[in-house]
Chain A
Amino acid sequence: MSVYLIDEVFLERNRRRIVGIARRVDECIDTVSLYIPDRLASNSTPGQFLMVWIPGVDEIPLSVSYVDDTMVGVTVRGIGEATRRLCSLQPGDMIGVRGPLGRGFTVRRGRSLVVGGGIGVAPLRYLVYRLLDVGADVCVVFGFRDKPHTIFVDEMERLSLEKLIEFHVATEDGSYGLKATAYDIASSIIHEGVDMVYVCGPEALIRRVLLLCVEEDIPMEASIEGYMKCGIGICGSCVRGVYLVCRDGPVFDRDKLVEIGEIGLRRRGASGVMEPLL
């Protein structure tokens, strides 16, 4: 095809494939995993995302939390109109899928610390398996608000029992695991020494881990969010600093996160107005 026209890979990734949900798993009181039969999306690497179209409602970015030969999984917490609608979908309900999109985590060997908070654990769950595939020495730290909001902990505990990973889980109120924050546990592990840190979750968590990794000079990557419209680097809505989350991220390394600057402090809303992050 001519260089002047849009290339076939880009075209196919952005064609909205209309598929029926294959399987639905209630992960906790407000979070659901949806398994979607789309071969192209199942090529996602950890950290990449899909644009999921709920016809008549919205189309939103969702990180991939699972992959196999034909199926891709996304994990959704119902906090707004679109996510609540997704959480109500049943097998057979039709949605549209675009992707895989974005830059994912760098999967490599070594002593790897995976830190997640809340719904942020979703892309990390997929990352853990890929790290194990390459022989990394994986330590997982998940932090949640309370027991009713914990997800994927049974799975991580199984991996830990099989001696495949080291797993620490914490809740803010102590109703499950340690009474602590993900940062508390992560920081002591970082001080003991790690080769790489991966983070996803509330920006306050990302910011604290980032500052610690800068101080200790440890490589680190985080998946961050930006308000997304086109999802493919055209409109500029998702800009953080000088980077587009949809195209240059959502995973950014330590140096880029420092350059972006506003992580944990400020973020743009739908109109592009900068709003402080509480």
Chain B
Amino acid sequence: MNVDLGIELAGLNLRTPLILASGILGLSGRLLAEVSRVEGVGAVTTKSIGLNPRDGYPNPTIVVLPYGFINSMGLPNPGVESFLKELDEAGSFDSPLIVSFYGYSLDEIAETARMIAKHPRVSALELNVSCPHVSGISEIGFKPELVAEAVSTAKKYVGGKPLFVKLSPNTHLVSEVARAAAEAGADGITAVNTVKAIAIDTELCRPILSGVYGGLSGPALKPIALRCVYEIYEEVDIPIIGCGGVSSYLDVVEFILAGASAVALGSIIALKGVGVFRELAIGLSGYLERKGVRRVEEIVGLSHR
């Protein structure tokens, strides 16, 4: 029997349900284009881009734990104008390109979305309302009304390209936020961003990260991200990109069973490199074959039935 890993996601066609998450390797257009050609990659997401360049926070910006990372990069990015120029020089993309973006105000969200959506190489946009360690962004992510406002504003300017919204797990109301986003016109939900976290150095007796707070990613995040996907699936009809701590093909399966149509990979790529995409695709294929399933969409949300 021939397993077909191809999926349709909010109108995009992906070779596999595996997506490069925002914030990993995604600063350079050229490198992103290269990753889009890697076997097993279904789509790639950029670093979150804002209207103006941001340097991000001074170091330390990362803490390595046995079960994940805490990062406090502070949304460093070259700004939308510079980034779009890079896309011009990047070479062709072999998989859909999802550009992540943010804005401190509705006007910024509108203008940034408009500029990004105009670029021919952009397949979709992902609105980041959930970075836990940048004030102005983190506060939006758990208020349904604010997210709805941001989404409906962005939607007016994306020129018909799919608009995903990346939600925060730092709330017990994630499904409410998801519903508000869906009703405001989002074409998909990315669940979820990192969990707000800190680490303290016991010799110096001070927080390690220069920004004090950071976002926890990696294996420790997985059960929380899964819970968010599961809750959101019960609340919305639009597709979900599951994100948080995926390391193995069984994690991929778990997210799909919970309700994700696609799964994003972040920390594991940083640890093991882009070869992981092929490894997970093979594992996923093997699982589907063993279960007598031909297409990924057949098991999306299966754990709810």
Contact = CB atoms under 8 A, between A and B. Distances in A.
Interface in A229-268: 229-237, 239, 241-242, 244, 268
A53 B59 contact: yes
B59 A271 contact: no
Interface in B43-59: 47, 53-56, 58-59
Contact of A237 (B58, B76, B86, B271): B76
Interface stretch (A8-16, A129-137, A195-203): A8-16
A235 B248 contact: no
A6 B65 contact: yes
B151 interface: no
A59 B60 contact: yes
Contact of B27 (A11, A58, A239): A239
Interface in B1-53: 23-28, 30-31, 34, 47, 53
Contact of B78 (A6, A96, A271): A271
25 contacts: A3-B247, A4-B247, A5-B219, A6-B64, A10-B64, A11-B65, A15-B64, A16-B208, A55-B204, A59-B60, A60-B59, A230-B73, A231-B62, A233-B270, A234-B62, A234-B69, A236-B26, A237-B56, A242-B31, A269-B55, A270-B55, A270-B76, A271-B77, A273-B78, A274-B78
B59 A58 contact: yes
B104 interface: no
Interface of A: 3-6, 10-11, 14-16, 18, 51, 53, 55-60, 94, 96, 228-237, 239, 241-242, 244, 268-274
B206 interface: yes
Please classify the interface of chain A as helix (H, G, I), strand (E, B), loop, or mixed, using the class held by over half of its residues.
loop
B79 A58 contact: no
Contacts of A58: 58-59, 210
Interface of B: 23-28, 30-31, 34, 47, 53-56, 58-62, 64-69, 71, 73, 76-79, 82-83, 86, 201, 203-204, 206, 208, 210, 218-219, 247-248, 251, 267, 270-271
A234 B24 contact: yes
Given A231-B62, A242-B31, 10 more contacts: A3-B247, A4-B248, A5-B219, A14-B64, A15-B64, A59-B59, A232-B62, A244-B25, A272-B47, A274-B78
Contacts of B204: 18, 55, 94, 96
Contacts of B206: 55-56
A229 B219 contact: no
B201 A96 contact: yes
Nearest to A58: B58
